[in-house]
Amino acid sequence: MGHVIPFIEFAKRLVHHHDDFNVTCIIPTIGPPSTAMKAAVEALPAPTINHIFLPPIIFDDDDQYSTKSPETILALAITRSLPSLACELKSLVASSRTNVVAFVVDFFCTETFEVAREFNLSSYLFFPSNAMVLSFLLYLPKLDEMVSCEFKDLTEPVKIPGCLPVHGRDFADTFQDRTSGTYKWFVDMIKKFSLARGIIVNSFMDLESGALKALSEEEPGKPPVYPIGPIIRSGSSESDDVSWSDCLTWLDNQPSDSVLFVAFGSGGTLSHAQVNELAFGLEMSQQRFIWVVKTPNDESASATYFSVQNHQKNHFDFLPEGFLERTKERGLVISSWGPQIEVLSHGATGGFLTHCGWNSTLESVVYGVPLIAWPLYAEQRMNALMLSEDVRVALRPNPNEGDGLVTREEIAKVVKELMEGEAGIGVRKRMRVMKHAASMALMEDGSSIKTLSKLALEWKKNQTASYGKTN
């Protein structure tokens, strides 16, 4: 969902500013599409934007599905979906009603370039994360040749073009075992980026000027980069969950900028011990809060990566005894999934404790909400570094060196500092500057809208038919 949402929002922005385009979204699936997935695509403005779910990839016992990383599962799903994709592209290209001018794929899907080439389609990558991570990935094959040890064992931080130096230990978990098949697949996938005609990235110049300037420098094998962000959802998916309306009603009764929103995205999970510490930390901070709670998982920080339907029906037995009763006057706990856009855009919300997923980060930037950075998996540690040390719109708690646990005392201290301390005032001011910059980038003469127009013009040049709409 973290990739699908910005992709379809990009499609909506394209057709809004360039109404001579139609878009067809082709989505590989692992089993039946989730309720959230179906709701997201069914809300698209057909027929201008329509969608196709490819036949689901069914993993049998021989695949050892439960033991594979999310990246490996995605790779298998893409590979096994190639024949179905070819059938759909053949149908689109053969249609008398469409003129296919570009094939835009998620960056996990570079294998599909070969299929696109069969139909003489121009391929582009859509990169839903930020320019810093993109710069790192493009640099990774070179780094892989230069370094012999594990990245986490490097004594000096790695100098990524245009970005803050990053310690190897802060690379995503995918890159922490260079002998693994997942790592090798990732490097091979990144090498295929050079086959794209261009890379569309969900960021904007004022947020990441250093990385974007570095990416704009011409190099052999490096496609041009198109920053067209921030792309965020216009609103949360519809829900009949009573807790959602209760949540917004509760917010209406709170003072301006007084509530900390705590949520770890569609995939993030905490251990039982960490949930316990977070609960006590919020209580000790004496600050107002809304906490979107998921069932703890001691095995993985991304235990719900492939599912956003982890509803525990408001059973919070895993929370500390008496916590809900003691905090009911200034805190609200809701189950699994919340109306994030509506909460972040609400005047009572004054802070966001986040896993630093890029969708959540951009939503906080658009609405000017300062952050507490709490990364869990994927590229989130790099995002947290950029947000806290480069853009400086986030505070970051310090985990224990031994077990990595963030203690209740540390949580209480950072929460209180963000909401009413001097450091909090500083990050709040800087976030307001970023909010204004994001708004300016999306004006008719803003940098991102100009870049989108440049991209659209390039695609129109690919149009050879003189009838119908482009697709």
Catalytic residues: 3, 106
DSSP-derived letter for residue 333 is E
The two tokens of residue 70 are 């999310």
Pick from 406, 247, 259, 374: nearest CA to 314: 247
Alpha carbon of 290 to those of 147, 320, 333, 372, 420: distances in Å?
44, 16, 6, 14, 17
CB 368 within 8 A of CB 259: no
Alpha helices per DSSP H over 253-379:
272-285, 323-326, 340-344, 358-367
Counting every residue written for the chain, the total comes to: 471
Assigned token pair, 155: 């004594």
Reported as type and span, the H/E element at residue 79 is helix 70-94
| Start-to-end C-alpha separation, the chain | 23
Computed over its alpha carbons, how large is the radius of gyration of the chain?
Answer: 22
Compute the distance between CA of residue 373 and CA of residue 325 in angstroms, rounded to an integer: 28
- Range 263-299 burial, b when 16+ CB lie within 10 A, else e: bbbbbbbbbeebbbbbbbbbbebebbbbbbbbbbbee
371: helix, coil or strand?
A: strand
Respond yes or no on whether the N-terminal peptide bond of residue 397 is cis (omega within 30° of 0): no
Max Cα distance, the chain (Å): 69
Q: How wide is the angle at C-alpha 106 spanned by C-alphas 101 and 111, nearest 5°?
A: 85
With 0-12 CB in 10 A as exposed, 13-18 as middle and 19+ as buried, what is 461? exposed
Helix (H, G, I), strand (E, B) or coil at 432: helix
Residue in 56, 411, 43 with CA at minimum distance from that of residue 238: 43
Q: What is the rounded distance in angstroms from the CA atom of residue 427 to the CA atom of residue 434?
A: 10
Q: What is the DSSP secondary structure assignment for residue 97, as one 8-state letter?
A: T
Angstrom distance (rounded) from CA 285 to CA 410 = 10
Q: At what angle do helices 4-17 and 447-461 cross, to 10 degrees?
A: 80
